[in-house]
Amino acid sequence: MASPTSHTPIDTEKAPKGIWGSVLLPIDNSGSINWQDFEEQVEILCASNLAGIYTNGTAGEFYNQTEAEFEKVTGIVAEAAKKQGKPFQIGVSNSNPRIARNRFAQVAALSPDAVQITLPDWWPPSWAEIERFVDGMQEVAGQTPIILYNPPHAKVRLDLHQIDVLQKRIPNLVGVKLAAGDKCWYSDLQNLHPNLSVFVPGHKVAFGRPLGADGSYSNVACISPEGATRHWQMIETDLDAAIELEARINEFFEQYVFPLARTKTLSDPALDKLLAAIGQWGPIGPRLLWPYDGASIDDVQTLASAVRRALPELF
């Protein structure tokens, strides 16, 4: 395998910023992806004020797609985004690292603004295996920027020092998506490369942006793409108001959303699709691909009313 240090560095000053929205999967009554609704949703997201859109994150159910579905999702998004001039990223994550690498090699030809990857996750990789994996992804990347997604439920959680080591190893690494932390965590963040974008959860951006967060692959954008972008802009124009709104966003999540993970054991993707369903900005319902459970219609109706009472600014 070629040494990653032999690669011509990409322009890291073009690292992504701002609020990015997830492309979700509309599921019909038969349990299949409704491709007509999918295309309508992508058109809505491309016409929004989001900084960009991305496929196959956790909310996009990347872990439960066939290769044919992956290719169709990717093709539709790339075509629509290019047509409307919307920046887009493609997620290639897979529990099989060989499939993830093959996906990367294929989608690089579509010239996405970045490709999102996760570490191999069926069996926790050692540090040597992590290095071997990222070297392999770098090898097929060409000039495509890389975003590393390291979620809280990953079998290997990277600390900021390890991310710094990987950033020095992988010339294409321009961003990371992390759960973030407190002020001490953000202080440590300053030791990372200044052109490495750090993305944090959507309900933590008002806290994080003044401390160094560069944007979010946003769960709040699942509720309202336009509302999430307005909140991001508010951080710059009226920080106190943005912090107050974020406090209410978190209160809404604590009262209405997170309890469903405990009482109904709903997954993070189920919660994200619930947020999109209550936002009612596009043809997204709460169903997930088989065999996973989504929220009920009663939950959607209850939260759709509650979110408009609690967070009218998002609408």
Burial of 265 (0-12, 13-18, 19+ CB in 10 A): exposed
Listed in sequence order, the residues at least 6 apart from 306 whose beta carbon sits closer than 8 Å to its beta carbon are: 252, 255, 256
> pLDDT tier at 3 (50, 70, 90 boundaries)?
very low
Q: pTM of the entire structure?
A: 0.94
Show the tokens assigned to 293: 């459970």
Asked whether residue 14 carries a pLDDT value surpassing 80, the answer given is no
23 alpha-carbon distance from chain centroid: 9
Q: Where are the domains of the chain?
A: 17-314
The pLDDT, as a whole number, for residue 193 is 81
Show the tokens assigned to 154: 């990953």
Asked whether residue 5 carries a pLDDT value surpassing 60, the answer given is no
Do 183 and 211 meet the contact criterion of CB atoms below 8 Å apart?
A: yes
> pLDDT tier at 314 (50, 70, 90 boundaries)?
very high
Beta-strand relationship, 52-54 and 18-22: parallel
The pLDDT, as a whole number, for residue 2 is 41
| Mean pLDDT, rounded, for 203-220 | 97
Do 164 and 191 meet the contact criterion of CB atoms below 8 Å apart?
A: yes
The pLDDT, as a whole number, for residue 191 is 83
The pLDDT, as a whole number, for residue 157 is 96
The three-state secondary structure class of 27 is: strand
> pLDDT tier at 9 (50, 70, 90 boundaries)?
low
> pLDDT tier at 209 (50, 70, 90 boundaries)?
very high
Least confident of 13-17, 130-134, 148-152: 13-17
Query: H or E segment at 294?
Result: none
The pLDDT, as a whole number, for residue 240 is 98
Closest CA to 303 of 267, 272, 282: 272
If you ran DSSP here, which 8-state letter would residue 312 be given?
G
The pLDDT, as a whole number, for residue 247 is 98
Residue 215 to residue 131: CA distance in whole angstroms: 26
Question: Residue 224 region, left (φ>0) first, then alpha (ψ -120 to 50), else beta?
Answer: beta
Residue 225 to residue 170: CA distance in whole angstroms: 32
Asked whether residue 1 carries a pLDDT value surpassing 70, the answer given is no
The pLDDT, as a whole number, for residue 10 is 62
Asked whether residue 7 carries a pLDDT value surpassing 60, the answer given is no
Listed in sequence order, the residues at least 6 apart from 277 whose beta carbon sits closer than 8 Å to its beta carbon are: 284, 285, 286, 295, 300, 304
Query: H or E segment at 241?
Result: helix 239-252
pLDDT in tens, 142-199: 999 999 999 999 999 999 999 999 999 999 999 999 999 999 999 999 888 888 999 9
pLDDT in tens, 221-252: 999 999 999 999 999 999 999 999 999 999 99
Show the tokens assigned to 88: 């887009």
pLDDT in tens, 262-313: 999 999 999 999 999 999 999 999 999 999 999 999 999 999 999 999 999 9
If you ran DSSP here, which 8-state letter would residue 28 be given?
-
> pLDDT tier at 11 (50, 70, 90 boundaries)?
low
The pLDDT, as a whole number, for residue 197 is 96
pLDDT in tens, 70-101: 999 999 999 999 999 999 999 999 999 999 99
pLDDT in tens, 97-127: 999 999 999 999 999 999 999 999 999 999 9
Range 17-314 has CATH code 3.90.850.10: no
Do 17 and 216 meet the contact criterion of CB atoms below 8 Å apart?
A: no
Please give the sequence-ordered ranges of beta strands (E in DSSP) within the chain, or none if there are none. Answer: 18-22, 52-54, 88-91, 114-117, 146-149, 173-177, 197-199, 215-217
